[in-house]
Structure 1
């Protein structure tokens, strides 16, 4: 019994001793654990049918009056023949069926904003000289001859819808009509409070009014274009992030007609343009038809095509672009055409460094840039022209003024018709043209203008097989007498003109279709479109050089509502690559030249090599609240839904050997009125389309704040020469034969698929690789987006396609090769790479009918790259024979667990046989920079500045091309570790326990 007690005591003492030892060891190590909190968000989704804010537009005064008498709309706009009411989304078909309704506009989510200046404002006060003076811009417009004859806008009325006016500014003294001017900042229009003041607190409205009609009293250098005109102010303002309430703008527009005395309206506000007519476009058209000259800024978004904002996009308005003082286009000024492909802008005026009246004092001036500054130049000039016509007793209307201004304009050498329209007008020449014009039977001056030449210079050289649809316009002062335009010359071999105008009355847009037959002879095709009214003619010259075509790609604009997704929008650079290399990219819009809706069919696709769906299948409020996203808005002019038979036609096309390219961002969310709204693309529909190919797009909302970099992870013809591409959007996964070729943070971003007939699919879960900034590697300078995109198109559009399948075993790889065109000549090359590189041409085994085989037998460990080429196509793959993990081969003489002798340690990690494809190096959990990824050797250094702990932990993880993984850690002390002495009690306890054990063994031996 005593022996057991002694043994137990000894065991206890030894355990205590060992515990203390282990405690010391644990305390000497750094704790690396970080707690992770997992939060689960649950979102309650409301019903789809929601209350909307609709505007009804009636076709006549009678039908408008009849509706108003029978119903009680929330707001009435009698001048515009419009009403605003609240109704359920699903009642839209009922609203559309009301007698006399020609337009139903859903303005619930609409946003309108003043077109803000592009640079910081410069301020001056009277007596100080500016660099660019409105007295100079007046001369650019050649107003002086009319001024000299006494025409300065007296007897005319300017109507300025803007932020109000500095009512105390001396340049407006005695000319603001305070009785008729009005603030539309009222609760009935959506503002929280009423504010009847006209006084400008922003400066934008004062500046535009000063340019159009400032008197230059405080400083003659900053005189306006029509310094004697009467000014009626319509004040509104931006309401937080929601923009200007649409009802406020419609009320201000309506008032322009109700007044019955407005000559010219200036409008520097934009709501963005979409296909089809919008409420603001319809309203401005009503104002023009009432006799008012309407001048609208096209916007400052960028110098890309299809960027003209609404309502400048309305054909009958004068859409104004901005120029520099040289007359060349301003860098910020929006290009045309409109979303409906109408030719815009119409005119241009100076818009950079414009000095005009401002807020802050009664003599304040400021210099601003923008199309907002250009527009009042045209408005004020129009007032001067109208003043002259009134005084001379010449009949006129808004159409005559526009036609004469455009006829008088000239365009700078650096401009084109889609950047600055007809150019900067010469107001004296405009008056002379009207005075010299013949008169029609009613005695009205006949002035006719047409585009001098085909406006889209990008399409001057086109490949065989090209198809495109555009508009050509003319402006006639006597539209009721216009004859149908006539096309002449050999250009008729490739163009068709629909002589029924799509827009009327004065500005007529005619649908022009360019169809270059696949077999037409290359060469120059030219001719003229001749317009005529009352014996007066104008011509538009067309000249197109046709070159040999290599292939055709159908670009489906009809399945996206992204305004910048026209072929010459954000994808203009890759589109340029295609056209320059003989590929016909044919844009397919919602409507064709005959006015019928386009549809993707088997017959249509049979004449193409590839179809490109850019940002397809957009989610529209309120359907973003439903999940899964299968409910399409049944009645909306904003979205052309994809049909089930269109999806089937595309899938049949790929099955037969066609190509399919999709690029999109996916789904994201934003908070709208406290509800989480999903926007972006209908991922469910995208996945329906991709279902046969094993590519699945994630429906998790992406939430990026900036563009990231995705790594190329697969050797392929598309990725040749490419290591990194941009990413901003959702992610995707694959099954079956599909491959991920690029990934971000371990998730797929680009995937491909190929079938045995040469059908090929590329799916990009981003559009930031293809857009103008991404294509030029402007998001990140170390990406290879342009090459990546060009490789994609070359792979999708290759003529002599090569389809390869392979089976890999422990000893090598067996290949089965199919040439889609059996007569194509194939060459094969094998490259072996380890410490050195060797490259040899190898022979394929021809088994007949375009089929081949090849066996690659591994020899030494290393990387084997194998490629097969035809004239246009390339198969490329690599295989890694490597059984060794990467190793740390050098630490610069430093030994683990010792204090570095200098302030840094240099490391080298190397793989013996292949490359190191991924690396993670961290010191105390913080990442360390390294060099050499994608090669056999990685180098990096750690510096003493990163030694923040007593014991610093360096973790190294390196994975080679064969997925062999190195995981190792080093300890870097901050100071030399001291020898750790055991506590005295531990020593005593250990001696006692040892004595007890000795006693036990002695007793045992007795």
Structure 2
């Protein structure tokens, strides 16, 4: 899934010029006692936009948002270690040292709960990457690029003017080579929409050198190359570029860098994150994950992905390219709950390399799909090509459209609901009623998703101040049931009877909004009986 094209020069800078091997550890702290920060003053550690995003979804700031205790960090430094990065959500730090035996010093500290070896960087075992091969230009017949936007009905939102304007998208990846000079990103730079960059893997280094995987990913969303009639799925969004990949290695500590990356994106107040990275197998086989760990609750990158989603970030992660390999299954963080893992297809047929679901605990993966075979994008050389393949490129196609959908949703609903948003995209899937292991819920349809949210918002606004358990709208032979706020997420049982007492239908309502098609329904008064599991109430319905 990742392009490993970083040169030895960058690796050398990563280890700060040390010739010796550096050993990495993840250190978990026992608490955040005596922190100078408080939940009542979040502006000290979160941006105004991050705070506002939580507030818009009704999400409280909690102790996981508080920074790691700096006194603990200082004591680790005083013990002879370098602190590479930290995670406030998981209350951890990633540290490294050339003498691994002194980790005992850290384990003896009273505030340390646990430590884990997460890999090493050995410059003697690294070789320079091969030069990037030139790509040939492709014939592009319209700006969508091989219809990769039209096949998910993304043009429906674009044609209404929803192109991601005002949305913040964080891109967590390997490297963003030439983004600062590539003509495909001219409008991104000239309009001031390239907001922030951060190299977590190689602190202090630019994000615009080395690996180009992130630049390819970015182009599917932010690219705008008039000369080739190419435009990405969120061409007017704002972007933050974050590197968490080391390069020519595959190490467990990269999952911890990823955690730091998503936390940084959160602190900036991003609305959407795309990450076309995945983990399960490492250079040190003893650190490999087992599939039983792919339950969204075990691997730190997966835990953090779910936490990010619960803090109001819409997250898209590539499903993986292991469908033809021994591993075959979804990896981390794509196994996380409440995110969008994105599988790959071409012309409705699964890309054979796209990793399989479900997760180890039986959840359907991927949640959605987009084009992953011969995806059209902008190369680092500034040309448009259709030579790149992988779920790495299906994911940002979806992420860009999630930003456009969110832009419209927030416009029509002043109190947006994360569950509704996620369900709208999932239910739009071409395989929603018959999901498969490789495509999950299938190809996304953003026209259906947008119409679902528009209908839900319209009905919910009508029902906002009513005390009924259900609001009912009838249109021809269909009934749409919307639960009142007190019953969101709860299962209800309904039966509809006509004036003679004959039952028209009975249905279990799991979703907050459900539409039921019925045989021909005559005009008149009907009785709806609602069973909440605690009580049964009746409600009159007038059918015209």
Interval of TM-score (by shorter of Structure 1 and Structure 2): 0.5 to 0.7
Partner of 1:317: 339
Within the candidate set 402, 420, 425, 2:422 is matched to 402
Partner of 1:68: 69
- What TM-score do you get using the length of structure 1 for normalisation? 0.35
Partner of 1:156: 167
The Cα offsets for residues 474-496 of structure 1, whole Å up to 9 and x where unpaired, read as xx99897212599xxxxxxxxxx
Tell me how far 1:234 sits from its aligned partner. Answer: 1.1
Within the candidate set 433, 438, 450, 1:419 is matched to 438
CA–CA separation in structure 2 for the residues paired with 1:215 and 1:106: 44
Relative to structure 1, the CA distance from residue 81 to residue 443 in structure 2 (aligned partners, 3 Å threshold; closer, same or farther) is farther
Partner of 1:123: 135
1:106 and 2:116 equivalent? Answer: yes
CA–CA separation in structure 2 for the residues paired with 1:277 and 1:332: 25
Relative to structure 1, the CA distance from residue 366 to residue 145 in structure 2 (aligned partners, 3 Å threshold; closer, same or farther) is closer
1:532-543 map, 5 Å: 532-534=510-512, 536=514
1:276-425 map, 5 Å: 276-302=297-323, 307-324=329-346, 326-360=347-381, 362-363=382-383, 365=385, 367-411=387-431, 416-425=435-444
1:169 and 2:182 equivalent? Answer: yes
Residues 27 and 115 in structure 2, CA contact (< 8 A), matched pair in contact too: yes
Relative to structure 1, the CA distance from residue 85 to residue 377 in structure 2 (aligned partners, 3 Å threshold; closer, same or farther) is closer
CA–CA separation in structure 2 for the residues paired with 1:479 and 1:400: 15
Residues 56 and 82 in structure 1, CA contact (< 8 A), matched pair in contact too: yes
CA–CA separation in structure 2 for the residues paired with 1:281 and 1:161: 14
Residues 57 and 81 in structure 1, CA contact (< 8 A), matched pair in contact too: no
Relative to structure 1, the CA distance from residue 132 to residue 416 in structure 2 (aligned partners, 3 Å threshold; closer, same or farther) is farther
Tell me how far 1:315 sits from its aligned partner. Answer: 1.0
CA–CA separation in structure 2 for the residues paired with 1:330 and 1:285: 26
Q: What SS does the corresponding residue of 1:266 show, helix, strand or coil?
A: strand
Residues 84 and 93 in structure 2, CA contact (< 8 A), matched pair in contact too: yes
1:145 and 2:145 equivalent? Answer: no
- What TM-score do you get using the length of structure 2 for normalisation? 0.62
Tell me how far 1:344 sits from its aligned partner. Answer: 1.2
The Cα offsets for residues 44-81 of structure 1, whole Å up to 9 and x where unpaired, read as xxxxxx99433459798447759615522646646635
Q: Say what the alpha-carbon RMSD is for the aligned residues.
A: 4.2
Within the candidate set 225, 228, 235, 1:227 is matched to 235
CA–CA separation in structure 2 for the residues paired with 1:105 and 1:278: 15
Partner of 2:490: 483
Residues 347 and 423 in structure 1, CA contact (< 8 A), matched pair in contact too: yes
Unaligned runs of 5+ in 2: 1-22, 33-60, 77-82, 96-102, 122-131, 281-288, 470-482, 494-505, 517-544
Residues 94 and 256 in structure 2, CA contact (< 8 A), matched pair in contact too: no
Residues 194 and 238 in structure 2, CA contact (< 8 A), matched pair in contact too: no
Partner of 1:513: none
CA–CA separation in structure 1 for the residues paired with 2:487 and 2:224: 39
Residues 151 and 388 in structure 1, CA contact (< 8 A), matched pair in contact too: yes
Residues 337 and 344 in structure 1, CA contact (< 8 A), matched pair in contact too: yes
1:432 and 2:451 equivalent? Answer: yes
Structure having the higher strand fraction is 1
Partner of 2:48: none
Equivalent pairs counted in the alignment come to 392
CA–CA separation in structure 1 for the residues paired with 2:237 and 2:24: 44
Relative to structure 1, the CA distance from residue 75 to residue 146 in structure 2 (aligned partners, 3 Å threshold; closer, same or farther) is same
Relative to structure 1, the CA distance from residue 107 to residue 230 in structure 2 (aligned partners, 3 Å threshold; closer, same or farther) is farther
Q: What SS does the corresponding residue of 1:288 show, helix, strand or coil?
A: helix
Tell me how far 1:167 sits from its aligned partner. Answer: 2.1
Q: What SS does the corresponding residue of 1:180 show, helix, strand or coil?
A: strand
Q: What SS does the corresponding residue of 1:405 show, helix, strand or coil?
A: helix
Residues 202 and 246 in structure 2, CA contact (< 8 A), matched pair in contact too: no
Bigger Rg, structure 1 or 2: 1
Does 1 or 2 have the higher relative contact order (CA < 8 Å, sep 6+)? 2
1:632-711 map, 5 Å: none
Q: What SS does the corresponding residue of 1:420 show, helix, strand or coil?
A: coil
CA–CA separation in structure 2 for the residues paired with 1:146 and 1:233: 25
Residues 87 and 260 in structure 2, CA contact (< 8 A), matched pair in contact too: no
1:244-259 map, 5 Å: 245-259=254-268
Tell me how far 1:529 sits from its aligned partner. Answer: 11
Within the candidate set 11, 24, 27, 1:54 is matched to 27
CA–CA separation in structure 2 for the residues paired with 1:267 and 1:479: 35
Tell me how far 1:286 sits from its aligned partner. Answer: 2.0
Residues 53 and 84 in structure 1, CA contact (< 8 A), matched pair in contact too: yes
Q: What SS does the corresponding residue of 2:257 show, helix, strand or coil?
A: helix
Partner of 1:746: none
CA–CA separation in structure 1 for the residues paired with 2:25 and 2:312: 33
CA–CA separation in structure 2 for the residues paired with 1:89 and 1:483: 51
CA–CA separation in structure 2 for the residues paired with 1:263 and 1:121: 35
Relative to structure 1, the CA distance from residue 71 to residue 347 in structure 2 (aligned partners, 3 Å threshold; closer, same or farther) is same
Residues 67 and 88 in structure 2, CA contact (< 8 A), matched pair in contact too: no
Q: What SS does the corresponding residue of 2:219 show, helix, strand or coil?
A: helix
Partner of 1:782: none
Tell me how far 1:259 sits from its aligned partner. Answer: 0.3
Residues 135 and 223 in structure 1, CA contact (< 8 A), matched pair in contact too: no
Residues 320 and 348 in structure 1, CA contact (< 8 A), matched pair in contact too: yes
CA–CA separation in structure 2 for the residues paired with 1:110 and 1:479: 52
Residues 347 and 424 in structure 1, CA contact (< 8 A), matched pair in contact too: yes
Relative to structure 1, the CA distance from residue 180 to residue 57 in structure 2 (aligned partners, 3 Å threshold; closer, same or farther) is farther
The Cα offsets for residues 697-727 of structure 1, whole Å up to 9 and x where unpaired, read as xxxxxxxxxxxxxxxxxxxxxxxxxxxxxxx
Tell me how far 1:131 sits from its aligned partner. Answer: 11
Relative to structure 1, the CA distance from residue 297 to residue 369 in structure 2 (aligned partners, 3 Å threshold; closer, same or farther) is same
Tell me how far 1:363 sits from its aligned partner. Answer: 3.8
Q: What SS does the corresponding residue of 1:410 show, helix, strand or coil?
A: coil
Relative to structure 1, the CA distance from residue 485 to residue 386 in structure 2 (aligned partners, 3 Å threshold; closer, same or farther) is same
CA–CA separation in structure 1 for the residues paired with 2:184 and 2:486: 39
CA–CA separation in structure 1 for the residues paired with 2:202 and 2:376: 31
Relative to structure 1, the CA distance from residue 230 to residue 484 in structure 2 (aligned partners, 3 Å threshold; closer, same or farther) is same
CA–CA separation in structure 2 for the residues paired with 1:66 and 1:211: 34
Q: What SS does the corresponding residue of 1:181 show, helix, strand or coil?
A: strand
Q: What SS does the corresponding residue of 2:225 show, helix, strand or coil?
A: coil
Partner of 1:213: 222
Partner of 1:136: 147
CA–CA separation in structure 2 for the residues paired with 1:478 and 1:93: 48
Residues 212 and 226 in structure 1, CA contact (< 8 A), matched pair in contact too: yes
CA–CA separation in structure 1 for the residues paired with 2:185 and 2:484: 33
CA–CA separation in structure 1 for the residues paired with 2:379 and 2:238: 18
1:711-790 map, 5 Å: none
Partner of 2:213: 204
